[in-house]
Amino acid sequence: MSLPRSLASLALLSLAAAQALAQTSTPVSLPAYGADPLQTSVSGLSSGAFMAVQMQVAYSGSIVGAGVVAGGPYYCAANNMFFTGICMGQTLLSPSAYLMVDAAKTFDSAHLIDPLSKLSQRRIYVFSGTDDSVVRQPAVNATVSFFQQVGVKPAQLQYVNTMPAGHAVITPSYGNDCAANAAPYISHCSIGGSGYDQAQAILQHIYGPLQPRTDKPAGQIVSFNQRAYADSTTSMADTGYLYVPPSCSAAGANCKVHVAIHGCKQSVESVGNQFITDTGYNNWADNNKLMVLYPQVNKSLFLPSNPEGCWDWWGYTGSNYANKSGSQMKAIKAMVDHLTQKPKASM
């Protein structure tokens, strides 16, 4: 039986798109921009939030602040997948921040992470929606407690936990309704009749007052080869992305770098470019001399098993996943370090 004409046309279009993707050349190497090595920050949602916590703790000597949206405390799963339910607040047993602090102190003593004393100088934003059914508030409360116990000062630790939001990055107007817990895990919420701009809240808490937001970012999204930093056994994708505003494209711009880390089921493979273009970071980048790095991890049904495209916060890439030598951690840090290198002079 032949397909109806409309379905046949759709099938041909899908085939053509698949062939075009198959013929796409390998992405270029990540360019060097001479970014400011003292002004790197990180944020993420869900598994990306767990990764943001890991990055902030492990590299506290060079990462100046973190935004944690629906993420549990550092090393919560302790290299054991069976603890993930506890770390997401899905069981009657809540995570123990005290135990996580003890683990971090052990890593500090072994020089596997930067000295925990550096964290007292850092600025941390934490968010938990009251309607989040994926990573519930008891787990996020433990994240706040962890940072308090390792010395982050009260004025530098902001916890937003009264908004009726689901499991999502929050924007003023884009995405699902506020209480949704569904793909693309981007939702719009309001406070006092005004849309809540989470990208602004994170960046402003870390860097201080911002220059105005742009409605239409005028910069360039650069795709680059992630295989230069991580092989396929890490579950990281072949391609990563970088938003470069016009203010950062010139030599000597000395821009800041913010690493925005997607959650499970939220990579380009899963939701297209929505996390990159619609979460609001790029809108704040143009006028604030800020480049935004969007590393990518993909789904994998083989070793390492990562069927939902999550960042490693329980040990699927190895027992050192939360340390500076962890394969995903090391890859993202190497990308940032490359961005801070001086660009080569043109011939």
C-alpha radius of gyration, the chain, whole number? 20
Which of 108, 114, 132, 278 is flagged as catalytic? 132
Q: Is-catalytic flag, 132? A: yes
CA distances from 285 to 203, 243, 267, 288, 340 (A): 10, 8, 21, 5, 17
d(CA 262, CA 51) in angstroms, rounded, equals: 10
Alpha carbons 45 and 269: distance in angstroms, whole number: 16
CA angle, 147 then 151 then 154, to 5°: 75
Give how far the C-alpha of residue 92 lies from the chain's centroid of Cα atoms, to the nearest Å. 28
239 neighbors 226 (Cβ within 8 angstroms): yes
Rounded Cα–Cα distance for residues 14 and 328 (Å): 32
Q: How far apart are alpha carbons 68 and 152 in whole angstroms?
A: 14
Cis link prior to 304 (omega < 30° from 0)?
A: yes
Dihedral in degrees, nearest 10, Cα atoms 52, 310, 17, 4: -130
Structure tokens at 192: 């006092």
| Amino acid (one-letter) located at 76 | C
Q: Tell the residue number behind the tokens 């009251």, with chain if given.
A: 130
Question: Which candidate in 46, 235, 247, 270 is catalytic?
Answer: 46
Q: Which of 43, 128, 145, 167 is catalytic?
A: 167
Q: Is 46 a catalytic residue?
A: yes
Is the Cβ–Cβ distance between 129 and 89 less than 8 Å?
no
Is 167 among the catalytic positions?
yes
Exposed e or buried b for every residue in 114-129, given b needs 16+ CB within 10 A? bebebbeebbbbbbbb
Burial environment of residue 142 by CB neighbours within 10 A (0 to 12, 13 to 18, 19 or more): buried
Active site residue ranges = 46, 132, 167
